[in-house]
């Protein structure tokens, strides 16, 4: 049986101390990151019947329209995801309904719930809704390009 020298004992104690401190630091970082997120719950319903809409596409976008994630609500019409604290746009589309886009704020450690009631497209009304969406998309695209060139001119 061998005994440890005092140098070896000190090195062992210092190594143990740093291991414990490293573990505590990692735990604090893990839990602080978890607190910087919140939950988004989107509920999609038919505006006429208040029943869940089957098969909508729920897109979570950044404020500059970058697609962050796509959600698929279940039979209850609910979709949920965790997001970092901040402002987002939620766009819901479905072939038989007019699309809807909302702005939402997700707080740290909180649940942001948004209820989206989609209006069904009537027979023969599909084309105008698509044209309206296309017009809005083109207008937003032109505005983005204009802002880009204005920023270059400064």
Q: What is the CATH number of the domain that holds 70?
A: 2.60.40.1120
CB 85, CB 37: distance < 8 Å: yes
- Measured at the alpha carbon of residue 67, what is the angle toward residues 64 and 69, in degrees to the nearest 5? 135
**90: containing domain:** 38-141
Same domain, 51 and 24: no
Pairing of strands 57-61, 86-94: antiparallel
Q: In terms of domains, do 48 and 31 share one?
A: no
The answer to whether position 64 is within a domain reads yes
Terminal CA-to-CA distance of the chain, rounded, Å? 78
3-state secondary structure of 64: coil
- Summarised one tens digit per residue, pLDDT across range 64-88 is 999 999 999 989 999 999 999 999 9
- Pair 30, 94 in one domain: no
Band (pLDDT 50/70/90 cuts) for residue 133 is low
Q: Is the pLDDT of residue 128 over 50?
A: no
């Amino acid at each position: 049986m061998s005994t440890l020298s005092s140098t070896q004992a000190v090195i062992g104690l210092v190594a143990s101390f740093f291991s414990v401190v490293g573990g505590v630091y990692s735990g604090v970082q893990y839990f602080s990151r978890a607190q910087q997120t919140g939950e988004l719950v989107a509920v999609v319903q038919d505006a006429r019947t208040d029943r869940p809409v089957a098969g909508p596409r729920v897109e979570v976008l950044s404020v500059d329209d970058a697609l962050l994630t796509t959600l698929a609500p279940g039979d209850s019409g609910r979709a949920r995801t965790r997001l970092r604290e901040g402002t987002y746009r939620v766009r819901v589309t479905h072939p038989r309904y007019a699309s809807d886009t909302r702005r939402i704020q997700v707080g740290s450690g909180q649940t942001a719930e948004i209820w989206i009631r989609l209006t069904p497209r009537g027979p023969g009304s599909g084309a105008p809704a698509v044209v309206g969406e296309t017009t809005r998309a083109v207008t937003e695209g032109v505005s983005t390009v204009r802002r880009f060139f204005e920023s270059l001119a400064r």
